[in-house]
């Protein structure tokens, strides 16, 4: 099951459109409508291999206002702040049981395509490359 954690940003809309265009079913989770639960935050943190830095929107107004130091803040406190302030987290987040993608880059979210579709698209790219030569 794929979960799309999103807000109403342009990149979130692109991620939704991409998933729908590729007929990939997902659970739609607008984190402005319903804030992330502590369990969801922990699940996201567990799946992300870059730690909290890749997940936190350091350019957000709330991050600037709270003056968070990611190097010294205790994890429990950071989780509480994320739970309280959904704008602290970068979106979109696309998550399944073993993969996570933060932000929208089409090349990166292709990992959520079923293997057979990835192979078909790969074969199309090869044909296009061969036609160029």
Establish how many alpha carbons lie within 13 A of residue 49's alpha carbon, considering only the half-sphere containing its beta carbon: 4
77-103 pLDDT, tens digit per residue, is 999 999 999 999 999 999 998 899 999
Q: At 54, is the pLDDT very low, low, confident or very high (cuts 50, 70, 90)?
A: confident
Domain spans of the chain, in order of start: 3-132
The pLDDT score that the predictor gives to residue 79 is 94
Q: pTM here?
A: 0.82
Quote the tokens at residue 120. 């078909």
Cα dihedral 109, 115, 119, 122 in deg (nearest 10): 10
Domain 3-132 - what CATH class?
Answer: alpha beta
Mean pLDDT of 40-59: 87
pLDDT of the residue at 133: 61
């Amino acid at each position: 099951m794929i979960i799309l954690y999103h807000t109403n940003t342009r990149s979130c809309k692109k991620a939704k459109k991409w998933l729908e265009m590729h007929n990939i079913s997902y659970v739609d989770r607008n984190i402005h409508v319903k804030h992330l639960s502590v369990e969801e935050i922990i699940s996201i943190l567990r799946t992300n291999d870059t730690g909290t830095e890749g997940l936190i929107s350091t350019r957000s107004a709330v991050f600037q206002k709270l003056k968070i130091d990611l190097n010294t803040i205790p994890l429990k406190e950071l989780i509480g702040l994320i739970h309280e302030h959904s704008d602290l987290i970068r979106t979109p987040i696309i998550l399944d049981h073993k993969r996570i993608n933060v932000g929208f880059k089409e090349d990166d979210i292709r990992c959520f395509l079923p293997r057979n579709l990835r192979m078909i698209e790969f074969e199309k790219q090869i044909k296009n490359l061969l036609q160029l030569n």
